[in-house]
Each structure stands twice: as C-alpha cells, then as structure tokens.
C-alpha cells in the first residue's frame, strides 16, 4: 500500500514532478518526431480492409499468383446528350491506344471502346496496377487518365468511374483528414475548456498534455506499423479524435478532484497527491474498460475492424499515462494561479455542493421511482427509431456526402450500359472444369455476359457482367446464385470474387463481428464494474442503463439519417462502432459517478451518498461529456458519410448519456434501490442514520 502511494505521488512530488516533466520532454522529442510519418505507414490496399477467410479474399490471393491484387479497373465514360459524332468515336479509340501506353496500366487487359446502343455514350475499361500504394496512388493514376481523355474533348462529357475512380475519390475525401480533424478538434476542446474552467490559462494544461499524448501515440503506432501493425486512414483519423476526447475527459475528472482538494489542503503537492489517490483508481478503471473493450475488436473477422482495436487502445493508454503523470506535474508546477480568476482558496467550500446538480438531486429525491420510470420510458420511445435503421451497407454514391466524378460517371454507365460493366464477377476454378464453370456462370440469372475462360497459373478464370448495379442488393443476390451454381460443379473447387463479392463478404463479416463482439464487451464491462464496485446489482443496473442509452442514441440517429440528413442508410459496421464507443466511454462516466457514490455511501449511507456523488461529479461529468461529444462531432466535417454518421451518433449519445442517463436515471435508481445497489457487499447491510436531504444541502467537503 505504501509503495503504491509512493508511485502515485511521483507526479505531485516537490522534486519528482520535474523528473516527470523531463521524462515527457524526452519521450515527445523521440516519438513525436515520428508522428508525421504515420500517414506514410498507412495501408489502404485491399488486404488491410477485407476479412481474411472470405471467399472473395481467397480469390484475390489466387489472383496474386499471376497478377497484382491491387489492380483497379477504371471505367472511362464519354457522353454526349445529343448523340455521339464520328469524331467522338475516333477520339475514344485513339485515347484507348494512349491509355495502353501509360506505365501503370495493364495494357493487355484494356477493353473497348464500347458504344452504347442509344449512341450517346462510350466506355473504355482501363485496369491500373496501383501496387502496394493502394488507393494512395489512385489519385495520380486517375489524373493521368483524365488528362489524356480531356484532350480535344470538344464538349464531350468525360468521367472516370469504376473501382479506380471510386478509390481516387475516397483518397481525396480522406486527404488532409489529420489536419482538418486536428484543427476542428482543437477548436472544440479549447472553447469548451474555456467555458468549463472560466480561466484564460488553465485550459492550456489539458490541451498540452493531450497534444503530447497524441504525438507520442502516433510515433509509437508508427514504429509498430513498421513491424506488422496495420493502420489505415480510418483508424488514424479516429485515433486523433479519441486521444483528444478521452484524454481531455480524464483531465477534467482529475482537475475537478484536485480543485476540491486544494480547498481542503494548503499545500498544493499534498492536494494533488490526495486527488490522484481518490480519483486515480476511477480514471484508471475507466480507461482500462475502454482499452479492453477496444482490444475485443481483435476477434473481428473484418481486417479494418480488427486493426482498429489495437491502434485506438494504444492511443487511450498513452492518453491515460499523460493525464495521470504529465498533467498533474504541470498543475503542481504552476500552482493555484492557473485557476485565476476563481482560485480555489484553502478552507473555502466547494461550490458544486450548492450548485445546479445539487438542486437536481434534491428534486429527484422527492419521487425517485417516478423519475427513473418516466426517464426509461422516454429513452425506450427514442429507441423505437431503431426499427427504421438501415445498416445494410452504403452504396458507392451514398458513401460520399457530395457527388464526386466517379459517382456521376457510374450514373452514366448505369443509364447506357449493363450496370455491372467494369466491375465483373470473377470465377476461378480448376482448369479441367473450365467449360462446366462457363456454362454454370452463363446460365445464372443476373449475369448478362461471360468473358473467358482464360488460363492463368493452372487455373481457369472467368468474368461475368452483372445486370444490376454492382453495389445493389440485386447484385448481391446474383453473387449468391453464382456461388451456388459453380460450387455445385464437382472437382472444380470454384471461388467467386470481384468487387461486388468483396462488398457482400464485408457486409456479412460486419454482421458476424457485431453479433460476437457486442456480447463479449458487455461481459468484460460487467466483470470490471463488479470488481471495482464489489457488487452485483450495481453493475447490472449500470449496464442496463448504458444499453438503453445506446439504443436511444441509435434510434434517434436512424431518424435523423432518414428524415434530416438524407443519408439513405448506414454502413454495416456502424452499429458496432457506435456501441464500442458509447458503451466503453459511457461506462467511464458510470465509474466516476459510482466510485464517488460508493465513497460517500460508506461515510453517510446510500441516500446521502447518491446525492453527494451527483452534486460533486454532475458538473464535471457533463463538461467531460460535452468535450467528448464535441471532438466526435468534428468527424462531421469530413465528406465521408460513415464518419459523419459515426460522429453524430457518438456525440448525441454521449450528451444523452451524461446529461440524462448518468445524472438523472442512475441517480434516481440509486435513491430508489438504496443499499440494495451494493448487494452483496457490506454496504448493502449497513444502515446509517441520514438527515433529510430535501432540507439539507449535501456536502462533498464533509
């Protein structure tokens, strides 16, 4: 115990605080210099996103034996509303020859130009090998093709569609994501900290600490990425938001307790030591819950989800370390004047004990059962919006919040050619069964044409053109029919892939991950809460409120997506990601509230403990929730629908959780259940006489 206290007191020591500061200066000098290299270490090729065991992934593995798995077909679309001229057709033919001369183009696979039946459009399919760069090289490739196509266009509308066009537009959407998010997140955090602290100086300490944590985490993740850890643009963007959001939360919780202790202790070093001992376990438990919840993502089938967990877990761990060491050292070094103009003077009463949340608590205490029943019913009504949640995946067009060139081009293709042109279904099987596979593919409803079979590395390769749009449910149904047909051919060992099959397999892997990971997280959270609170009833109650809060947030989000933002649906991984962030981070606030309630209950009994816990933590929990919500809302600045949806749902859910669920619903349940909340611990059997708190102000300082 003494050794633990000595370790905790290191950041607040008269001499050791300087050692902590020097330690972090060295760390940020070494790792911070590597932070800027993280973008270059991102892997945005197909293998970093797909489920390894999926059939479409196996097709890519086989194809990699005779061609690069990073070949992206571009569909060059030429369109004239009044009808194509002979000059237009001659230009398209000349361009096709020039495309074959581009170094990255697989010239033997260039197909076309093909003229539409109505004579208004031409398409040329140009496969481009992007190599290990993945979509990071798509923009330059599209620029080269577009430069060729736009020469002497004479009013001809030209677009680059297909997988390469989509990849280039996706890369453009993520371009500068770190800079945009950093500016937006910093602005939100600084404004909210200024409002929370009402000090022109204090906000600098959490921001500096969070900035150091982010640079350190990015540098560490870069080193790990060089040795096998997969990082993509999505995980790198969310990392920034989570480190600032969670880190600032921990800073708010610690600073609030430090301010309380400054009123009880004349020596600021002693005040910080007590604050670390009292608030530290709750903050560590909160961060530990988030870290373990994120690490459960490693059991996911989908590579992009599997890799997200370790990246974000590292970020939260570094943020925790910075806020429990660097921040306390900085606060103690600079002293009480940081809180100017409202410095917490020794011997004064903590204002939160007579503030807004103290008054809310006394009102809840009048009829706690009515309060929690009504609140639960309202949240349940909000959750009914889940019935309209369309989380079956976003189409390519729906994936962007604007209309990029690839989407415009695909619209022209859909109107004038078979919708699946340029994104064929790929069938690979044993060479002796090539004829049977070709017959099975041709006879499958939904396939309009078959190319091949071609022989490659001892395999028979066929390509089928879809009648339906490649990202539609009709196309997914066709993939299932093709698989059923070719799998039935004896001895063929056939596999079905292609872009549509990839999307289908991703959707199914996401559904599997959701069904497996969500129960695992609930079990993990229950065990952590049980160990921390040493009770069974309290963890069950808290998990129930968090799940209800999650359902309500998701229900409202579904309504907003359909009727306000017109997003048209949600990504298949959206419910899982929202659950992970809302439940893991929502438990943060539960832990901070309930550890304080438990502390006060041990002194004064369950009734006064519940009200004192609320009055002492309500303000800081609400402020922390506002900061976290603001940082996630920064994701809405990006032109990617999935991230905008994630940002809105998490931001709304966090605000709902901190303002309503944590402060009102949980407090009302604490008051109604009384000592039974702590069953079977000793607190459930302790009956201490309590004053009538409807008349008396609860005191956190007593």
Q: Is 257:323 a contact under the CB 8 Å cutoff?
A: no
DSSP secondary structure, 420-432, as one string: TTTS-EEEEEEGG
pLDDT digits (tens, 9 = 90+) for 312-356: 999 999 999 999 999 999 999 988 888 887 777 776 676 555 678
pLDDT > 90: percent of the chain: 20
pLDDT tier at 696, thresholds 50, 70, 90: very low
Give the pLDDT score at 134.
Answer: 63
Domains of the chain: which residue ranges? 1-59+176-348, 70-174, 350-401+508-702, 424-497
Residue labelled with tokens 């921390």: 532
pLDDT band (50, 70, 90) for residue 6: low
Strand arrangement, sheet containing 447-456: 447-456, 459-466, 425-430, 495-497
Q: What is the mean pLDDT of residues 163-192?
A: 76
- Percent of the chain residues past pLDDT 70, beyond the cut: 90
pLDDT tier, 357 (very low <50, low <70, confident <90, very high otherwise): confident
pLDDT the model gives residue 368: 93
What is the reported pLDDT for 48? 65
User: Residue 451, SS3?
Assistant: strand
419 by Cβ neighbours in 10 Å (0-12 / 13-18 / 19+) ranks as buried
CATH 1.20.1640.10 is the classification of domain 350-401+508-702: yes
Q: Tens digit of pLDDT for each residue in 391-441? A: 766 677 777 777 788 888 888 888 888 766 667 899 999 988 889 999 999
Tell me phi and psi for residue 491, to 5 degrees.
75, 0
Q: What is the pTM of this model?
A: 0.79
Tens digit of each residue's pLDDT (9 = 90 or more) over 448-494: 888 878 888 788 888 898 888 887 889 899 999 999 999 999 988 99
Strand partners of residue 123: 77, 114
Name the CATH code of domain 1-59+176-348 (choices 1.10.1660.10, 1.10.260.40, 1.20.1640.10, 3.40.30.10): 1.20.1640.10
Residue 566 has pLDDT above 90, yes or no: no
DSSP state of 48: G
What local confidence, expressed as pLDDT, does residue 701 receive?
A: 34
Stronger pLDDT, 405 or 43, i.e. the higher one: 405
Report whether 324 contacts 280 (CB < 8 A): yes
Top CATH class, 424-497:
alpha beta
* Range list of H helices, 84-161: 86-100, 138-150
> What pLDDT, on a 0 to 100 scale, did the predictor assign at position 181?
67
Name the percent of the chain in helix, strand, coil, to the closest 5.
70, 10, 25
Q: Is the pLDDT of residue 286 over 50?
A: yes
Query: pLDDT, tens digit, for every residue of 216-257?
Result: 999 999 888 888 777 777 777 788 878 888 888 888 888 888
Q: Give the pLDDT confidence score for residue 693 in this predicted structure.
A: 45
Confidence of residue 31 (pLDDT cuts 50, 70, 90): confident
pLDDT of residue 101: 86
What DSSP state is assigned to residue 640? Answer: B
Q: Do domains 1-59+176-348 and 424-497 have the same CATH topology?
A: no
Contact 661, 547 (CB under 8 A): no
Confidence of residue 565 (pLDDT cuts 50, 70, 90): confident
* Token duo for residue 615: 């009055």
pLDDT at res. 695: 42
CB within 8 A of 383, min separation 6: which ones? 548, 551, 552, 554, 555
What's the confidence (pLDDT) of residue 381?
95
- Residues 627-670: pLDDT tens digits? 888 878 877 777 778 888 888 898 899 899 888 988 899 999 99
Residue 445 has pLDDT above 50, yes or no: yes
Q: Classify domain 70-174 by CATH number.
A: 3.30.70
CA distance 250 to 320: 7
Q: Which residue has the tokens 């969670």?
A: 246
Q: Exposure string (b/e) for 291-317, b if CB count within 10 Å is 16 or more?
A: bbbbebbeebbbbbbbbbbbbbbbbbb
Residue 106 tokens, joined: 């697989």
| Torsion sign (Cα): 308, 314, 318, 321 | positive
Lowest average pLDDT, out of 84-93, 302-311, 679-688, goes to: 679-688
Residue ranges of alpha helices (H) inside 151-267 are 162-174, 177-197, 204-225, 233-264
Mean pLDDT of the chain: 83
What is the predicted pLDDT for the residue at 686? Answer: 59
Q: Residue 694 pLDDT more than 50?
A: no
């Amino acid at each position: 115990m003494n050794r633990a206290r000595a370790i905790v007191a290191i950041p607040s020591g008269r001499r050791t605080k300087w050692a902590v500061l020097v330690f972090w200066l060295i760390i940020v000098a070494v790792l911070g210099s590597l932070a800027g290299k993280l973008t270059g270490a991102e892997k945005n090729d197909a293998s970093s996103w797909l489920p390894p065991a999926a059939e479409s992934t196996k097709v890519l593995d086989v194809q990699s034996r005779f061609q690069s798995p990073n070949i992206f077909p571009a569909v060059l679309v030429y369109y004239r509303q009044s009808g194509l001229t002979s000059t237009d057709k001659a230009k398209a033919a000349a361009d096709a020859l020039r495309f074959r001369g581009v170094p990255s183009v697989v010239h033997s696979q260039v197909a076309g130009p093909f003229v539409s039946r109505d004579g208004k459009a031409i398409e040329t399919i140009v496969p481009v090998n992007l190599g290990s760069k993945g979509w990071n090289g798509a923009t330059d490739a599209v620029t080269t093709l577009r430069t060729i196509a736009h020469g002497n266009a004479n009013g001809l509308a030209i677009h680059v569609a297909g997988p390469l066009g989509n990849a280039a537009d996706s890369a453009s959407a993520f371009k500068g994501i770190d800079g945009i998010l950093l500016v937006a997140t910093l602005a939100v955090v600084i404004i909210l900290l200024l409002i929370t602290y009402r000090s022109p100086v204090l906000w600098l300490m959490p921001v500096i600490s969070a900035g150091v944590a982010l640079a350190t985490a990015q540098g560490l993740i870069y080193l790990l990425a060089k040795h096998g850890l997969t990082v993509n643009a999505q995980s790198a963007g969310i990392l920034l938001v989570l480190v600032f959001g969670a880190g600032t939360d921990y800073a708010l919780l610690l600073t609030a307790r430090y301010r309380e202790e400054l009123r009880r202790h004349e020596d600021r070093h002693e005040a910080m030591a007590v604050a670390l001992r009292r608030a530290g376990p709750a903050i560590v438990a909160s961060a530990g819950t988030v870290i373990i919840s994120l690490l459960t993502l490693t059991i996911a089938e989908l590579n992009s989800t599997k890799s997200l967990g370790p990246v974000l877990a590292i970020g939260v761990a570094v943020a925790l370390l910075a806020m429990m060491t660097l921040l306390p050292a900085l606060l103690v070094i600079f002293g009480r004047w940081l809180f100017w103009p409202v410095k917490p003077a020794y011997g004064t009463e903590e204002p939160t004990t007579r503030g807004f949340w103290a008054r809310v608590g006394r009102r809840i205490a009048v009829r706690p059962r009515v309060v929690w029943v009504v609140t639960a019913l309202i949240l349940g009504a909000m959750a009914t919006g889940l019935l309209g949640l369309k989380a079956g995946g976003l189409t390519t067009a729906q994936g962007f919040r604007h209309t990029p060139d690839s989407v415009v081009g695909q619209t022209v293709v859909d109107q004038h050619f078979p919708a699946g042109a340029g994104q064929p279904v790929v069938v690979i099987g044993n060479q002796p069964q090539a004829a049977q596979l070709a017959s099975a593919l041709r006879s499958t409803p939904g396939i309009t044409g078959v190319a091949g079979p071609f022989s490659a590395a001892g395999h028979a390769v066929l390509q089928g053109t879809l009648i339906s749009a490649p990202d539609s449910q009709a196309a997914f149904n066709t993939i299932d029919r093709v698989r059923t047909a070719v799998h039935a051919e004896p001895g063929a060992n056939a596999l079905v892939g292609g872009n549509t099959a990839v999307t289908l397999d991703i959707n199914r892997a996401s559904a599997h991950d959701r069904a497996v990971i969500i129960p695992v997280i609930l079990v993990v959270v229950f065990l952590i809460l049980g160990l921390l609170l040493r009770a069974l009833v309290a963890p069950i109650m808290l998990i129930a409120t968090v799940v209800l809060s999650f359902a309500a947030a998701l229900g409202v989000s579904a309504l907003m997506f359909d009727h306000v933002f017109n997003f048209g649906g949600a990504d298949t991984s959206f419910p899982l990601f929202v659950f992970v962030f809302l439940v893991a981070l929502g438990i943060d606030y539960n832990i901070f509230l309930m550890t304080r309630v438990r502390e006060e209950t041990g002194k004064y009994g369950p009734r006064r403990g519940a009200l004192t816990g609320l009055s002492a933590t309500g303000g800081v929990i609400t402020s922390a929730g506002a900061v976290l919500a603001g940082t996630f809302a920064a994701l809405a600045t990006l032109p990617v629908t999935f991230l905008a949806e994630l940002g809105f749902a998490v931001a709304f859910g966090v605000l709902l959780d901190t303002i309503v669920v944590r402060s009102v619903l949980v407090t009302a349940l604490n008051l109604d259940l009384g000592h039974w909340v702590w069953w079977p611990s000793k607190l459930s059997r302790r009956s201490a006489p309590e004053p009538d708190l409807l008349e008396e102000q609860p005191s956190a300082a007593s």
